[in-house]
Amino acid sequence: MIQEPTPRMPTGAATGVVMPAPPGALACAPGLLLSVLLLALLSLPLPSHANEISVLVGATEGIDAGEGSYAWQAAFRYNFIRNFAASLSWINEGHLEEHKRDGFAVQGWGRVPLLDNRLSIGIGAGVYQYFDTKLLPAGNHENVHGWAPVYSLAVTYYTETPWFAQVAVNRIHPESDFNSNTYLVGVGYRLWKEAASPSGPREVDRPAKTTGYEVMPFLGQVVVNRPGNDPGIGSGIEFRMGIDEHLDWTATWLNEDVPRTFHRAGLGTQIWLVDAFLARRITLGFGAGLYSFVDREPPPDSGESERLDIAGLLTVTTSYRFSDHWFTRFNWNRVMSNDSRDTDLFLLGLGYRWEQ
């Protein structure tokens, strides 16, 4: 469903700074709710199974117009009991004639193991938060945000190593956007955790938190989601704090500088689902929150010299800990704007960590 622009109220004629109305702060509330639901699954004291990460590539079929494009998907699947799982996926549906759509999906799965657990057939269903860069007849564009049901079928073949092969089909059916099928094939890796002691789990076997305290400056690229994908420089600094075993909180200063387009800078805060694997050297996480910023080059038709605004902020992250205190982290941020100026920030940093 197309998101209506958020009304704003001027705070003073002299400064030209405009404050957003409170409803704008609720733009990513459904995403936060889904994160809380997935956190509940991660926190359950269930038997230990290998979690899975996979990367698939293939094709998108635009059902309504009969168009086609490429597709790819990156997914993390949490196997909490033998026949059931939950997954968090990023799906990119490619570039159709008038649409460039991607987004994240949260799904529950039922699976049937076959051939002595070497083969698995799974059926998944859930919700898909999509971001569609839609081309308009006048040559302009609109960033459309919405929710849609997503249904999936996946066939997975497990080898004797941690690697596996997978074939998947997704059906996405939005109410106010184009319907699509994606056909995907690829590989994945099982992320085993350390086994507990023979006498059963002890406090030392299960750390209280995945993350202690972390500080990390970062630098990278910002890309505007519009025709041409104008690039710029992204930078900032992040403070991260572990709240629970699978829960982090961050405060992040972000700076987005895209020449001749805009310059935004501000503070983002997010709640994260996180976990650690492979002797706790590698971490994976997904964050959702809000980003309050000053836009020093607002759209020309706004009549403003600068503007204070709020946007949704979604992030996928991974880090590698190469010592007890030093680590490197990659963040992929998606800024969900209210004025059709969504951005992706691809940021890499070197950080320092210490335990609480």
Domain ranges in the chain are 48-191, 207-354
Residue 212 makes CB contacts below 8 A (sequence gap 6+) with 241, 242, 353, 354, 355, 356
Q: What one-character DSSP code corresponds to residue 300?
A: G
pLDDT of residue 97: 82
The three-class DSSP label of residue 199 is coil
pLDDT of residue 49: 60
pLDDT of residue 347: 98
pLDDT of residue 207: 66
pLDDT of residue 283: 95
Look up residue 12 and give its two tokens.
């003073």
pLDDT of residue 10: 42
Kindly report the CATH number that applies to the domain delimited by 207-354. Answer: 2.40.160.20
pLDDT of residue 39: 52
The DSSP line for 132-152 is EEEEPTTS-EEEEEEEEEEEE
Query: Quick check: 190 and 208 in contact, CB under 8 A?
Result: no
Averaged pLDDT in 10-residue chunks for the chain of 356 residues: 44 41 43 51 50 96 85 93 90 89 95 92 96 82 91 96 97 91 97 54 60 96 85 96 94 93 93 91 95 82 76 96 96 92 95 90
pLDDT of residue 122: 96
Strands (E), 96-230: 99-114, 119-135, 141-158, 163-172, 180-191, 213-224
pLDDT of residue 300: 65
pLDDT of residue 259: 86
Closest to 166 (Cα-Cα) out of 182, 150, 154, 152: 154
Q: Where are the alpha helices (DSSP H) in 5-107?
A: 29-43
pLDDT of residue 14: 40
Strands (E), 35-98: 51-62, 67-81, 84-95
CA 20 to chain centre: 25
pLDDT of residue 64: 78
pLDDT of residue 4: 44
- Please indicate whether the domains covering 48-191 and 207-354 agree at the CATH topology level: yes
Q: How far apart are CA 331 and CA 347, in angstroms?
A: 5
pLDDT of residue 241: 97
- Please give the CATH topology (third level) of the domain spanning 48-191: Porin (2.40.160)
